[in-house]
Amino acid sequence: MGFRKGEKLRRIEDSNRINILSLMGGDIEDRLRRQIEMDNNLCYRKAGLPADCSLPEAIIDGSFWSMLPAEDVDVVLLAVTGPDMQQWNRAVEENTSGRNLTGQFWKETSIAVVAVLLEDSVHDAVQAAKLDFDGIIAQPFLAQQLPGIFQQAIERSRGRHCITSRYRRMRHLFQKVNRNRRQLRNKMDLLCRDLVRSNANLTNTLHDFRRIYNFQSDLTGEFDLCYMLHKALRQIKEQIPESSAVVYLCSTDKIEAHISGPWYDNRRDLNEIETLLKETVISEVITSGRLILIGDAGVCEKILPKHRKELAGLSLMALPLFLDNELLGGLVVYRNWSSPLTVSESNFVKPYLPPLARAIEAIQKLNSLIVR
């Protein structure tokens, strides 16, 4: 669809027209308006401000600039005085986080803000320049100079708006990059912690393997069952501080080895504690085939009342001895209730059980062959 020549010319003329919005009042506005209206390419109108809007304080409020019709306004004229600019500069100095506190709000818009100095003062011109206005007008107003000032202000505003938009995009980009860097750093930290934890676990596992291998090597070649069991119990007992240990075998239905603490100094005490253990935790571990852990036998409801008094003050741990799903017996560790045996200590003892069970089976098979 084409345009007639006259209509096209009118559109070109409208595109060159500068729309000016005035935020001034008084005689100086009348004088400036008359000079502006002498140029047909300058369209002048006065802003209708709300009753609660007071200038010049309002210009440091971001909501003020959002109310202006930026779509059909190219230039905003703002009357300024020396005291006003001093007040704004003080506000800029107080707010060190944002340079040009008063100007940063209109920098988000594409409107050119031109300061109209009410007094012909070099000091006021310097203050206006520090506040980074897009243009400055001072009396006397010359009609032939105004279009050039407005055009330069518009170009400066467009450049400022372009830089502000670019800065905003760069800031968003940097924020995204920093966020990605933080996420990557957190992932690297997690990975490093996982690697450290894995290495620590691997080291502990290798240490456990060496410990159990040495234990199994010590038991290999032993032919005396009683000596082998005492040797095994001594090594297990050394891993759990201030503890005592016994081994019960199902094949003989008795406790074959017992290494006790210094508080049992005669065989009568040992026989008594062995009988109590057989009637309580050993009987239960043989029946259930699972770990039994008791913090204080004196208050444990699983133990019969007649046995609680004799076992009071002891913490008990009983573990079954399995070999290929065959129950060979049980291992019992006990010590003073003031330092109860824990699940972690039971997990520490469990790797000793398979090599101990294999050593027991090997000696039992050897004894059976010798008897034949």
Tokens 């450049």, residue? 159
The DSSP 8-state label assigned to residue 107 in this structure reads: G
Segment (H or E) for 309: helix 305-311
Q: Sorting pLDDT into bands at 50, 70 and 90, what band is 102?
A: very low
pLDDT at 92: 64
pLDDT digits over 215-239, tens only? 888 888 888 899 999 999 999 988 8
> 226 with 344, same domain?
yes
> 86 with 217, same domain?
no
**Residue 352 near residue 215, CB atoms below 8 Å:** yes
**Residue 282 near residue 332, CB atoms below 8 Å:** yes
pLDDT at 293: 93
> What sign does the dihedral 267-290-362-251 (CA atoms) show?
positive
Residue ending a domain, among 174, 190, 221, is 174
CATH of residue 14: 3.40.50.2300
> 79 with 166, same domain?
yes
Radius of gyration from C-alpha coordinates of the chain:
47
How far is C-alpha 93 from the chain's CA centre?
36
**Structural domains in the chain (count):** 2
> 220 with 140, same domain?
no
pLDDT at 263: 62
pLDDT at 107: 66
> 325 with 219, same domain?
yes
Nearest to residue 130, comparing CAs of 74, 85, 162? 85
**What is the domain range of residue 120?**
5-174
Collapse the DSSP code of 227 into the 3-class scheme (helix H, G, I; strand E, B; otherwise coil) and give the result: helix
Q: What average pLDDT does the chain have?
A: 83
Residue ending a domain, among 152, 174, 196, is 174
pLDDT at residue 3 is higher than 60: no
> 136 with 239, same domain?
no
pLDDT at 61: 64
Q: Sorting pLDDT into bands at 50, 70 and 90, what band is 93?
A: low
- Does residue 155 belong to any structural domain of this protein? yes
- Does residue 186 belong to any structural domain of this protein? no
pLDDT at 100: 46
pLDDT digits over 37-68, tens only? 888 888 888 877 665 566 666 676 666 776 77
pLDDT at residue 113 is higher than 80: yes
Q: Which amino acid appears at position 16 of this protein? A: N
> 18 with 127, same domain?
yes
Of all residues in the chain, the percent with pLDDT exceeding 90 is 32
**Residue 186 near residue 195, CB atoms below 8 Å:** no
Residue ending a domain, among 119, 145, 174, is 174
> 248 with 344, same domain?
yes
Mean pLDDT of 122-138: 82
Helical ranges in 68-145 per DSSP H: 82-94, 122-130
- Does residue 179 belong to any structural domain of this protein? no
pLDDT at residue 9 is higher than 70: no
For the full predicted model, state whether its pTM sits above 0.75.
no
pLDDT at 94: 65
pLDDT at 267: 74
